Amino acid sequence: MTGDFAHREGVIWLDGEFVRWQDATLHVLTHALHYASSVFEGIRVYGSKIFRLTEHTERLVASAAELGCVLPFTVPELDRAASELAARNGMVDGYLRPVAWRGSETMGIGAPGTSAHVAIAAWEWPEVFEPGAKLDGISLHVSRWRRPPPECAPVRAKGAGQYAIGTLARNEAEAAGAQDALLLDHRGHLTEATGANLFLVVDGELHTPVPDCFLDGITRRVVIGLARSYGIRVVERHIPVGELESASEVFLTGTAYEVQPVRSIGGLTHASASRPGEVTRTLAFRPGEVTRTLADAYAKLVRS
Protein backbone atom coordinates (compact mmCIF):
# COMPACT_ATOMS: atom_id res chain seq x y z
CA MET A 1 0.00 0.00 0.00
CA THR A 2 1.37 3.44 -0.92
CA GLY A 3 0.63 6.76 0.74
CA ASP A 4 -1.16 7.94 -2.41
CA PHE A 5 -4.88 7.49 -1.89
CA ALA A 6 -5.44 6.77 -5.59
CA HIS A 7 -3.18 3.72 -5.45
CA ARG A 8 -4.20 1.45 -2.64
CA GLU A 9 -5.49 -2.07 -2.32
CA GLY A 10 -9.05 -2.81 -1.29
CA VAL A 11 -12.61 -2.19 -2.38
CA ILE A 12 -14.71 0.96 -2.54
CA TRP A 13 -18.49 1.08 -2.62
CA LEU A 14 -19.47 3.20 -5.62
CA ASP A 15 -23.09 3.88 -6.56
CA GLY A 16 -24.33 0.54 -5.31
CA GLU A 17 -21.42 -1.68 -6.43
CA PHE A 18 -18.22 -2.80 -4.75
CA VAL A 19 -15.37 -1.92 -7.14
CA ARG A 20 -11.61 -2.31 -6.99
CA TRP A 21 -9.99 0.65 -5.18
CA GLN A 22 -8.14 1.78 -8.31
CA ASP A 23 -11.27 1.65 -10.44
CA ALA A 24 -13.22 4.18 -8.30
CA THR A 25 -12.40 7.14 -10.59
CA LEU A 26 -14.22 10.22 -11.98
CA HIS A 27 -14.00 12.28 -15.14
CA VAL A 28 -12.18 15.67 -14.93
CA LEU A 29 -15.38 17.38 -16.12
CA THR A 30 -17.36 16.44 -13.05
CA HIS A 31 -19.53 19.24 -11.67
CA ALA A 32 -18.30 18.65 -8.10
CA LEU A 33 -14.66 19.13 -9.05
CA HIS A 34 -15.31 22.58 -10.53
CA TYR A 35 -18.03 23.95 -8.25
CA ALA A 36 -17.61 22.05 -4.95
CA SER A 37 -21.03 20.40 -5.33
CA SER A 38 -19.93 17.66 -3.01
CA VAL A 39 -20.47 16.66 0.63
CA PHE A 40 -18.81 14.02 2.76
CA GLU A 41 -18.59 12.31 6.14
CA GLY A 42 -15.88 10.89 8.38
CA ILE A 43 -16.81 7.91 10.53
CA ARG A 44 -14.72 5.83 12.92
CA VAL A 45 -14.76 2.10 13.37
CA TYR A 46 -13.76 0.83 16.83
CA GLY A 47 -13.31 -2.88 17.47
CA SER A 48 -15.22 -3.74 14.24
CA LYS A 49 -18.19 -1.57 15.32
CA ILE A 50 -19.09 1.62 13.47
CA PHE A 51 -19.64 4.50 15.90
CA ARG A 52 -22.83 6.54 15.33
CA LEU A 53 -23.20 5.30 11.75
CA THR A 54 -26.81 6.34 11.20
CA GLU A 55 -26.24 9.85 12.58
CA HIS A 56 -23.40 10.30 10.10
CA THR A 57 -25.42 8.90 7.21
CA GLU A 58 -28.34 11.17 8.08
CA ARG A 59 -25.98 14.13 8.12
CA LEU A 60 -24.60 13.14 4.69
CA VAL A 61 -28.10 13.11 3.25
CA ALA A 62 -28.95 16.41 5.00
CA SER A 63 -25.71 18.04 3.76
CA ALA A 64 -26.54 17.02 0.19
CA ALA A 65 -30.05 18.44 0.63
CA GLU A 66 -28.51 21.76 1.81
CA LEU A 67 -26.83 21.89 -1.61
CA GLY A 68 -30.13 21.04 -3.32
CA CYS A 69 -29.01 17.52 -4.15
CA VAL A 70 -31.20 14.45 -3.56
CA LEU A 71 -29.16 11.28 -3.12
CA PRO A 72 -30.28 8.16 -4.98
CA PHE A 73 -29.93 5.97 -1.85
CA THR A 74 -31.82 5.89 1.44
CA VAL A 75 -30.19 6.12 4.86
CA PRO A 76 -30.72 2.36 5.55
CA GLU A 77 -29.23 1.49 2.13
CA LEU A 78 -26.16 3.62 2.82
CA ASP A 79 -25.83 2.21 6.35
CA ARG A 80 -25.89 -1.32 4.93
CA ALA A 81 -23.28 -0.41 2.31
CA ALA A 82 -20.98 1.08 4.97
CA SER A 83 -21.29 -1.96 7.23
CA GLU A 84 -20.65 -4.38 4.39
CA LEU A 85 -17.68 -2.35 3.18
CA ALA A 86 -16.10 -2.33 6.65
CA ALA A 87 -16.60 -6.09 6.89
CA ARG A 88 -15.24 -6.77 3.37
CA ASN A 89 -12.12 -4.73 4.19
CA GLY A 90 -11.69 -6.69 7.42
CA MET A 91 -11.74 -3.42 9.34
CA VAL A 92 -11.20 -3.58 13.09
CA ASP A 93 -10.10 -0.02 13.93
CA GLY A 94 -10.37 2.43 11.07
CA TYR A 95 -12.17 5.16 9.22
CA LEU A 96 -14.98 5.35 6.70
CA ARG A 97 -15.29 8.19 4.20
CA PRO A 98 -18.69 8.47 2.48
CA VAL A 99 -18.78 11.16 -0.22
CA ALA A 100 -21.60 12.37 -2.48
CA TRP A 101 -21.32 14.61 -5.52
CA ARG A 102 -22.95 15.93 -8.67
CA GLY A 103 -21.91 14.23 -11.91
CA SER A 104 -20.66 15.35 -15.30
CA GLU A 105 -23.86 16.03 -17.28
CA THR A 106 -23.33 19.79 -17.30
CA MET A 107 -20.54 22.30 -16.92
CA GLY A 108 -23.06 25.04 -16.13
CA ILE A 109 -22.91 26.46 -12.61
CA GLY A 110 -26.56 25.77 -11.99
CA ALA A 111 -26.94 22.05 -12.03
CA PRO A 112 -30.45 21.11 -13.17
CA GLY A 113 -30.71 17.45 -14.01
CA THR A 114 -27.23 16.44 -12.88
CA SER A 115 -27.00 12.95 -11.47
CA ALA A 116 -26.09 12.47 -7.82
CA HIS A 117 -23.47 9.87 -6.88
CA VAL A 118 -22.30 8.32 -3.64
CA ALA A 119 -19.15 6.40 -2.73
CA ILE A 120 -17.77 5.02 0.52
CA ALA A 121 -14.10 4.23 1.12
CA ALA A 122 -12.51 2.67 4.20
CA TRP A 123 -8.97 2.65 5.54
CA GLU A 124 -6.94 2.08 8.66
CA TRP A 125 -6.36 5.43 10.35
CA PRO A 126 -5.52 5.28 14.03
CA GLU A 127 -4.29 8.80 15.02
CA VAL A 128 -4.58 12.32 13.56
CA PHE A 129 -1.64 13.81 15.44
CA GLU A 130 1.64 12.19 16.46
CA PRO A 131 1.74 9.84 19.46
CA GLY A 132 1.85 11.84 22.68
CA ALA A 133 -0.52 14.57 21.45
CA LYS A 134 -3.43 12.95 23.28
CA LEU A 135 -1.65 13.44 26.60
CA ASP A 136 0.29 16.66 26.06
CA GLY A 137 -2.19 18.49 23.85
CA ILE A 138 -1.73 20.15 20.47
CA SER A 139 -0.82 23.70 19.48
CA LEU A 140 -3.32 25.92 17.67
CA HIS A 141 -2.81 29.11 15.71
CA VAL A 142 -5.63 31.65 15.37
CA SER A 143 -6.22 32.01 11.67
CA ARG A 144 -6.75 35.16 9.68
CA TRP A 145 -9.38 33.14 7.74
CA ARG A 146 -12.84 33.34 9.25
CA ARG A 147 -15.97 31.21 9.12
CA PRO A 148 -18.55 32.98 6.93
CA PRO A 149 -22.01 33.92 8.22
CA PRO A 150 -24.97 31.64 7.37
CA GLU A 151 -26.17 34.13 4.73
CA CYS A 152 -22.89 33.65 2.83
CA ALA A 153 -22.40 29.87 2.80
CA PRO A 154 -24.35 26.65 3.44
CA VAL A 155 -22.83 26.43 6.91
CA ARG A 156 -24.92 23.48 8.11
CA ALA A 157 -23.61 21.21 5.34
CA LYS A 158 -20.41 19.23 5.68
CA GLY A 159 -19.61 20.45 2.20
CA ALA A 160 -16.34 20.37 0.29
CA GLY A 161 -16.58 24.13 -0.37
CA GLN A 162 -16.20 25.00 3.32
CA TYR A 163 -12.96 23.03 3.49
CA ALA A 164 -11.18 25.45 1.14
CA ILE A 165 -11.04 27.81 4.15
CA GLY A 166 -9.92 24.93 6.38
CA THR A 167 -7.05 24.01 4.07
CA LEU A 168 -5.84 27.63 3.90
CA ALA A 169 -6.09 27.99 7.68
CA ARG A 170 -4.35 24.67 8.35
CA ASN A 171 -1.49 25.51 5.97
CA GLU A 172 -1.12 28.93 7.60
CA ALA A 173 -1.07 27.36 11.08
CA GLU A 174 1.53 24.75 10.11
CA ALA A 175 3.71 27.45 8.51
CA ALA A 176 3.53 29.27 11.87
CA GLY A 177 4.75 26.09 13.61
CA ALA A 178 1.36 25.05 15.07
CA GLN A 179 -0.48 21.77 14.56
CA ASP A 180 -3.91 23.13 13.68
CA ALA A 181 -5.79 26.38 13.16
CA LEU A 182 -8.44 27.96 15.35
CA LEU A 183 -10.97 29.91 13.31
CA LEU A 184 -13.05 32.89 14.38
CA ASP A 185 -16.34 33.83 12.79
CA HIS A 186 -17.25 37.01 10.96
CA ARG A 187 -18.03 38.65 14.36
CA GLY A 188 -14.67 37.73 15.93
CA HIS A 189 -16.19 34.98 18.05
CA LEU A 190 -14.54 31.61 18.55
CA THR A 191 -15.80 28.82 16.29
CA GLU A 192 -13.78 25.62 15.75
CA ALA A 193 -10.56 24.10 14.43
CA THR A 194 -10.23 22.89 10.83
CA GLY A 195 -11.86 19.53 11.58
CA ALA A 196 -13.09 19.65 15.18
CA ASN A 197 -15.27 21.63 17.59
CA LEU A 198 -13.98 23.72 20.49
CA PHE A 199 -14.60 23.55 24.26
CA LEU A 200 -13.26 25.77 27.06
CA VAL A 201 -13.31 24.95 30.76
CA VAL A 202 -14.14 28.14 32.69
CA ASP A 203 -14.55 27.95 36.47
CA GLY A 204 -15.26 24.21 36.24
CA GLU A 205 -18.01 24.70 33.62
CA LEU A 206 -17.84 23.67 29.98
CA HIS A 207 -18.30 26.54 27.52
CA THR A 208 -18.65 25.92 23.79
CA PRO A 209 -19.59 28.20 20.89
CA VAL A 210 -23.13 28.11 19.48
CA PRO A 211 -22.83 26.27 16.12
CA ASP A 212 -24.66 28.90 14.07
CA CYS A 213 -22.01 29.27 11.35
CA PHE A 214 -20.03 26.04 11.58
CA LEU A 215 -20.54 22.31 11.89
CA ASP A 216 -22.48 21.03 14.92
CA GLY A 217 -20.31 17.95 15.35
CA ILE A 218 -21.69 14.57 16.32
CA THR A 219 -18.79 14.17 18.78
CA ARG A 220 -19.61 17.63 20.17
CA ARG A 221 -23.14 16.52 20.97
CA VAL A 222 -21.92 13.22 22.48
CA VAL A 223 -19.41 15.06 24.69
CA ILE A 224 -22.03 17.58 25.84
CA GLY A 225 -24.21 14.60 26.87
CA LEU A 226 -21.30 12.94 28.69
CA ALA A 227 -20.44 16.17 30.51
CA ARG A 228 -24.02 16.58 31.71
CA SER A 229 -24.09 12.96 32.88
CA TYR A 230 -21.05 13.79 35.06
CA GLY A 231 -22.85 16.82 36.51
CA ILE A 232 -20.66 19.29 34.58
CA ARG A 233 -22.63 22.39 33.59
CA VAL A 234 -22.51 23.03 29.83
CA VAL A 235 -22.97 26.55 28.46
CA GLU A 236 -23.47 27.08 24.71
CA ARG A 237 -22.94 30.74 23.88
CA HIS A 238 -21.16 33.18 21.63
CA ILE A 239 -17.61 33.46 22.95
CA PRO A 240 -15.44 36.43 21.95
CA VAL A 241 -11.81 35.42 21.25
CA GLY A 242 -10.60 37.48 24.25
CA GLU A 243 -12.32 35.03 26.62
CA LEU A 244 -9.69 32.40 25.89
CA GLU A 245 -7.72 34.13 28.65
CA SER A 246 -10.22 32.98 31.27
CA ALA A 247 -10.11 29.30 30.24
CA SER A 248 -8.21 26.85 32.45
CA GLU A 249 -8.47 23.98 29.93
CA VAL A 250 -9.18 23.87 26.20
CA PHE A 251 -9.97 20.83 24.07
CA LEU A 252 -11.32 19.90 20.64
CA THR A 253 -13.82 17.21 19.70
CA GLY A 254 -14.37 15.39 16.43
CA THR A 255 -14.72 11.96 14.92
CA ALA A 256 -11.08 11.94 13.89
CA TYR A 257 -9.67 14.02 16.78
CA GLU A 258 -11.84 12.34 19.46
CA VAL A 259 -11.35 14.42 22.65
CA GLN A 260 -8.12 16.23 21.88
CA PRO A 261 -6.51 18.48 24.54
CA VAL A 262 -4.98 21.80 23.43
CA ARG A 263 -1.74 22.93 25.03
CA SER A 264 -1.27 26.33 23.39
CA ILE A 265 -3.02 28.89 21.21
CA GLY A 266 -0.85 31.36 19.32
CA GLY A 267 -1.35 34.11 16.79
CA LEU A 268 -3.87 35.82 19.05
CA THR A 269 -3.26 39.50 18.50
CA HIS A 270 -2.90 39.01 14.76
CA ALA A 271 -6.42 37.66 14.38
CA SER A 272 -8.25 39.57 17.08
CA ALA A 273 -6.87 43.06 16.52
CA SER A 274 -6.78 45.24 13.46
CA ARG A 275 -3.04 45.78 13.60
CA PRO A 276 -1.44 43.19 11.34
CA GLY A 277 2.25 42.68 11.90
CA GLU A 278 2.01 43.29 15.64
CA VAL A 279 3.82 40.74 17.77
CA THR A 280 1.45 37.89 18.54
CA ARG A 281 0.71 36.29 21.90
CA THR A 282 0.50 32.66 22.86
CA LEU A 283 -1.63 31.28 25.67
CA ALA A 284 -0.68 27.99 27.34
CA PHE A 285 -3.06 25.40 28.78
CA ARG A 286 -2.74 22.06 30.55
CA PRO A 287 -5.17 19.21 30.10
CA GLY A 288 -6.91 19.12 33.49
CA GLU A 289 -9.53 17.09 35.27
CA VAL A 290 -12.50 18.00 33.07
CA THR A 291 -10.64 17.21 29.83
CA ARG A 292 -9.30 13.95 31.23
CA THR A 293 -12.70 12.87 32.56
CA LEU A 294 -14.41 13.49 29.22
CA ALA A 295 -11.56 12.00 27.13
CA ASP A 296 -11.71 8.81 29.22
CA ALA A 297 -15.51 8.67 29.11
CA TYR A 298 -15.51 9.14 25.33
CA ALA A 299 -12.79 6.50 24.82
CA LYS A 300 -14.89 4.06 26.87
CA LEU A 301 -18.13 4.92 25.07
CA VAL A 302 -16.79 4.39 21.53
CA ARG A 303 -15.71 0.85 22.44
CA SER A 304 -18.75 -0.06 24.54
Ligand X SMILES: Cc1ncc(COP(=O)(O)O)c(C=O)c1O
CB of residue 27 to ligand X, shortest distance in Å? 27
Q: Whose Cβ is closer to ligand X: residue 139's or residue 255's?
A: 255
Q: Whose Cβ is closer to ligand X: residue 42's or residue 288's?
A: 42
Asked if 300 is an active-site residue, the reply is no
Q: What CA dihedral angle connects 232, 301, 59 and 187, to 10 degrees?
A: 30
Separation between Cα atoms, residue 212 and residue 67, nearest integer Å: 17
Q: Whose Cβ is closer to ligand X: residue 249's or residue 258's?
A: 258
Of 49, 134, 158, 300, catalytic: 158
Partnered with residue 250 across adjacent β-strands are 200
CB of residue 217 to ligand X, shortest distance in Å? 3
CB of residue 193 to ligand X, shortest distance in Å? 7
Buried b (16+ CB within 10 A) or exposed e, 24-62: beeeeebbbbebbbbbbbbbbbeeeebbbbeebbbbbbe
CA-CA-CA-CA torsion sign (238, 243, 248, 249): positive
CB of residue 142 to ligand X, shortest distance in Å? 16
Transcribe 47-108 into DSSP letters. Answer: TTEETTHHHHHHHHHHHHHHTT---SS-HHHHHHHHHHHHHHTT-SSEEEEEEEEE-SS--S
CB of residue 162 to ligand X, shortest distance in Å? 7
Separation between Cα atoms, residue 182 and residue 277, nearest integer Å: 19
Q: Whose Cβ is closer to ligand X: residue 195's or residue 266's?
A: 195
* C-alpha triplet 241, 242, 245: angle, nearest 5°: 115
Residues in contact with ligand X by CB under 6 A are 42, 192, 195-197, 215, 217-220, 253-255
Q: Which residue is nearest to ligand X (CB)?
A: 217
Q: Whose Cβ is closer to ligand X: residue 159's or residue 266's?
A: 159
| Residues that are catalytic | 158
